[in-house]
């Protein structure tokens, strides 16, 4: 029987997995099943270049249609896989029952459900999919006031694009500071100041308790009692992993589909990768929401499927573009106990330590520091915090 790798989820991880299988010589069938009616595409530009109108849909595609045809990768798009039968090794897609020999779940994550009082308004948007971005872009062109609920990366990136387009922007963050889950107070402060210089108002430690309007929100009430007029609302309050399909099939999940260091799930011949997968990293179960992880973990899964098993132990990295500032994060700052700031002629950076060991670095407009930090962390090298105060000190010297 011909081998058939079925990939459920047509995002970055699903595409990377299929590409890796082919480039490593897999000759069997590969099928990518996607709920959306498009071939795999990039999501980070949705809140930036696509929303601003700088890019059109075709530029978002990870590969042209000819690539998938030429490499014998079937794209089955437009409806979800509704169920899995692990015993029979089949999946249900519409009214079809399709057999597979190996299965990869790259189902990604979805925005948290909107509060009931925010539903059913035409000008309330989320920004996770191309459909979301198209909906928001239609309103974006005719709006003058944007209310962003949630001060995470998507919310702040969208705020930056809107401010540059001339909209009056207010960001409401219920936590004590923007980007609280992702970065230290110093990095949050940098971006708070940056947005302020572009006219964006950021209100932290505050929530939205209700809205007014008929078919469209025209006013929002804050927990402080203040009322804000608006004609467009973006909600960016985080995402949850798409685990429902795995759960119904009896695959173990807990804040993600649980996998080992090779991406293997609790079910035989079933792997998971990307935003939906929770895997062991430095002794702790971790779920990373990033393009880097989606690609690298998917490639590790493809290698494991082909018998070239190697534990997946990444140095995580992330990025965010806001105005002319590029934030690059190397490492995983979870549980940090100290942060050391470093300012050079190139840019600023914050170095995170956990019990005396370097665990992560934020850098803004300083690609050299970012690349150096990635290499230091990959090699397990430490940097004495006292050395960072010396401006002439070059951390690259530790790599030589």
How do residues 194-210 score in pLDDT, each as one tens digit?
Answer: 999 999 999 999 999 99
H/E element, 131: helix 130-140
Assign domain 324-399 to its CATH superfamily.
Answer: FAD/NAD-linked reductase, C-terminal dimerisation domain (3.30.390.30)
Task: Please write the tens of the pLDDT for every residue from 75-113.
Answer: 999 999 999 999 999 999 999 999 999 999 999 999 999
Task: Please write the tens of the pLDDT for every residue from 224-258.
Answer: 999 999 999 999 999 999 999 999 999 999 999 99
Order of strands, sheet of 208-213, starting from the edge strand that comes earlier in the sequence: 208-213, 217-222, 227-229
DSSP notation for 161-222:
HHHHTT-EEEEEESSSSTTTTTS-HHHHHHHHHHHHHTT-EEEES--EEEEEESSSEEEEEE
Task: Return the domain boundaries, the chain.
Answer: 4-110+239-305, 113-235, 324-399
Token representation of residue 374: 């990635």
Assign domain 4-110+239-305 to its CATH superfamily.
Answer: FAD/NAD(P)-binding domain (3.50.50.60)
3-state secondary structure of 8: strand
Contact 150, 128 (CB under 8 A): no
* Same fold yes or no, 4-110+239-305 and 324-399: no
Distance, C-alpha 391 to centroid of its chain: 34
pLDDT on residue 344: 83
pLDDT on residue 139: 93
What number is the average pLDDT over the span 377-393?
91
Q: How many CB atoms lie within 10 A of CB 355?
A: 9
3-state secondary structure of 23: helix
Task: Please write the tens of the pLDDT for every residue from 149-188.
Answer: 999 999 999 999 999 999 999 999 999 999 999 999 999 9
pLDDT on residue 399: 87
pLDDT on residue 25: 96
CATH number of 113-235: 3.50.50.60
Distance CA 28, CA 26 (A): 6
Burial 194-218 (b: 16+ CB within 10 A, else e): bbeeeebebbbeeebeebebeeebb
Q: How many CB atoms lie within 10 A of CB 156?
A: 27
pLDDT on residue 295: 98
Token representation of residue 344: 């050079």
282 confidence band (pLDDT: 50, 70, 90): confident
Sign of the CA dihedral with 373 first, then 374, 379, and 380 last: positive
């Amino acid at each position: 029987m011909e081998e058939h790798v079925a990939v459920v989820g047509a995002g970055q991880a699903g595409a990377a997995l299929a590409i890796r299988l082919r480039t490593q010589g897999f000759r069997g069938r590969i099928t990518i099943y996607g709920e959306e009616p498009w071939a795999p595409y990039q999501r980070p530009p949705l809140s930036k270049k696509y929303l601003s109108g700088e890019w059109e849909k075709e530029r978002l595609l990870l590969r042209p249609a000819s690539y998938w045809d030429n490499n014998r990768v079937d794209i089955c798009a437009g409806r979800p896989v509704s169920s899995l039968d692990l015993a029979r090794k089949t999946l249900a897609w519409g009214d079809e029952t399709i057999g597979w020999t190996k299965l990869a779940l790259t189902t990604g994550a979805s925005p948290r459900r909107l509060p009931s009082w925010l539903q059913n308004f035409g000008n309330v948007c989320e920004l996770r999919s191309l459909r979301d971005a198209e909906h928001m872009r239609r309103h974006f062109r005719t709006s003058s006031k944007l209310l962003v609920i949630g001060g995470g990366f998507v919310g702040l990136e969208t705020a930056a694009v809107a401010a540059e387009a001339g909209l009056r922007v207010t960001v409401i963050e219920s936590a004590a500071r923007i980007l609280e889950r992702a970065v230290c107070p110093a990095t949050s402060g940098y971006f708070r100041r940056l947005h302020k210089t572009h006219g964006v108002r950021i209100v932290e430690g505050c929530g939205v308790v209700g809205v007014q309007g008929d078919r469209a929100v025209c006013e929002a009430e804050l927990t402080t009692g203040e009322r804000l007029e608006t004609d467009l609302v973006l909600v960016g309050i985080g995402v949850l992993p798409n685990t429902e399909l795995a759960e119904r099939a009896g695959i173990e999940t807990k804040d993600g589909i649980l996998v080992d260091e090779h991406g293997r799930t609790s079910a035989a011949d079933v792997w998971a990768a990307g935003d939906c997968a929770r895997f062991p990293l430095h002794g702790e179960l971790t779920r990373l929401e990033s393009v880097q992880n989606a690609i690298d973990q998917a490639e590790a899964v493809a290698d494991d499927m082909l018998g070239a098993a190697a534990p997946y132990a990444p140095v995580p990295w992330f990025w965010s573009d806001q105005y002319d500032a590029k934030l690059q994060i190397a490492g995983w700052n979870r549980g940090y106990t100290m942060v050391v700031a470093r300012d050079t002629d190139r840019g600023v950076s914050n170095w995170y330590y956990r019990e005396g060991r370097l665990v992560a670095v934020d850098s803004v407009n300083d690609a050299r520091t970012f690349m150096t930090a990635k290499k230091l962390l990959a090699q397990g090298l430490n940097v004495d915090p006292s050395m960072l105060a010396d401006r002439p000190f070059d951390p690259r010297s530790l790599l030589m």
